[in-house]
Amino acid sequence: MNRRDFVQSVIAAGVGVAAAANRGHGQAPRADNQSVKPNLFTPLKLRGVTLRNRIAMSPMCQYASRDGFANEWHLAHHAARAVGGAGLLMAEATGVEPGGRITPNCLGIWKDEHVPALRRVTDFVREHGSVPGIQLAHAGVKSSRYGPLHSTPNAFVPLDEGGWMPVGPTAKRFDRDGPVPRALTVDEIHAVTGSFAAAAERSIAAGFGVIELHFAHGYLGHSFLSPLMNERTDDYGGAFDNRVRFMLETVRAVRRTLPEDVPLFVRLSCTDWVEGGWSLDDSVNASRLLAKEGVDLIDCSTGGATREAKIPVAPDYQVPFAERIRRDAGIPTGAVGLITTPAQADAIITEGRADLVLLGRQLLREPHWAHRAWVELKSDTTPPIAKEYAWALAETRRR
């Protein structure tokens, strides 16, 4: 069975994404911002998908995979946060090609065999009321590195120890160690776009309800956007229109593959934090183009193109990027970065600064954070916690 037939057969078997057969692409409906001011527990509707609240788990590499396969760890990681009430769980940067992984232990979705183990995760997540999302990624010049649990974290994995030759827009090193990456040819750029589209199709077969493309943090997508990383002189480098070409072609190819009712997110590094790098104005302009291509939400991160950047890390430090893009590009946004308290997250939504908050490390500390927020904010919505716990905890709340 070829890949397309395999994917179609899984979809036909009932993936849970409604109207998968009703393919096509068109103008994305905007977020359903009700006339009543939304708060952290107002559902968010994007295309055919409704998140039960505005709380998402930010994608976080687990470095727990072998040959790209999901396993018990990925199930436990996602299951705990689904039970704990987040509206959306974004799976970690998942390699669309084996050479697109950051480390040999990153998740992958470059072959059909990856689908069933991911499907186990998404089935559990859906059963407990969260929407499973997946971040599709190619690590580019930052690939073939050891993960944080290795004895030499972040060191280049030599070719004879299972590493591979990193590729990027330009043959320019990011770190001092390791080989100089190889610049992709135009045919190879098109092939990577094809890998993203094929991975998106497999993601639907695996039951994911939201697809995010990783164009942040100095990985391949961002490295085409940033003048600090992209020194090409052909149609994919130089002027803004050329630097966004790979992203727009990839978004177009992925959107064509996705069912109409599945939302597509793009994570951007909204600034390089360096004079002469990718800027917030560039992000606003790019987001307008992405909205026209059927992207439904910009996930607003920053940084990663250079180690020279001085990043003013503090609570809410990336929220202004989400706020400005939402206002000036007219597209829903997600805010991320040191959002840790319920009041802080709720204010971001009620003040209209973003449509979704993404929590990373706080959800590692506290998988049931959404439920705690629901209690603290005295929400009168259905408790965001698995029913197996809710019956007992609702009692506690009344005391």
Ligand X SMILES: Cc1cc2nc3c(=O)[nH]c(=O)nc-3n(C[C@H](O)[C@H](O)[C@H](O)COP(=O)(O)O)c2cc1C
Question: Per CB under 6 A, which of residues 234..273 are in contact with ligand X?
Answer: 267
CB of 102 to ligand X, least distance (A): 8
Interatomic CA distance for residues 190 and 266, integer angstroms: 19
Candidates 155, 309, 338, 377: give the one binding ligand X (CB under 6 A): 338
**90 strand-pairing partners:** 133
**Closer residue to ligand X (CB): 7 or 89:** 89
Element of type H or E holding 396: helix 387-398
Interatomic CA distance for residues 100 and 106, integer angstroms: 9
Candidates 25, 32, 60, 123: give the one binding ligand X (CB under 6 A): 60
Q: Closest residue (Cβ) to ligand X?
A: 360
Element of type H or E holding 297: strand 297-301
**Tokens in use for 327?**
């206002």
DSSP secondary structure letter of residue 222: H
If one asks whether residue 92 binds ligand X (CB under 6 A), the answer comes out as yes
Q: By rule CB under 6 A, what string of x and - marks binding of each residue 357-376 to ligand X?
A: --xxxx--------------
Residue 211 phi, psi dihedral angles, 5° rounding? -115, 130
In this structure, the number of other CB atoms found within 10 A of the CB of residue 241 comes to 11
If one asks whether residue 89 binds ligand X (CB under 6 A), the answer comes out as no
Choice among 146, 219, 236, 317 that is catalytic: 219
Question: Per CB under 6 A, which of residues 275..334 are in contact with ligand X?
Answer: 301
**Closer residue to ligand X (CB): 20 or 89:** 89
If one asks whether residue 147 binds ligand X (CB under 6 A), the answer comes out as no
Interatomic CA distance for residues 340 and 315, integer angstroms: 8
Are 309 and 303 a contacting pair, CB within 8 Å? Answer: yes
**Tokens in use for 15?**
């993936």
Are 193 and 246 a contacting pair, CB within 8 Å? Answer: yes
If one asks whether residue 61 binds ligand X (CB under 6 A), the answer comes out as yes
If one asks whether residue 387 binds ligand X (CB under 6 A), the answer comes out as no
Concerning whether 219 is annotated as a catalytic residue, the answer is yes
Question: Per CB under 6 A, which of residues 30..59 are in contact with ligand X?
Answer: 58-59
Distances (CA, A) of 126 to 16, 35, 51, 187: 9, 28, 11, 38
Question: Per CB under 6 A, which of residues 192..221 are in contact with ligand X?
Answer: 214, 216-217
Candidates 65, 103, 135, 257: give the one binding ligand X (CB under 6 A): 135
**Closer residue to ligand X (CB): 297 or 339:** 339
Q: Which residues are catalytic?
A: 219
Question: What residues make contact with ligand X under the rule CB under 6 A?
Answer: 58-61, 92-93, 135, 214, 216-217, 267, 301, 336-339, 359-362
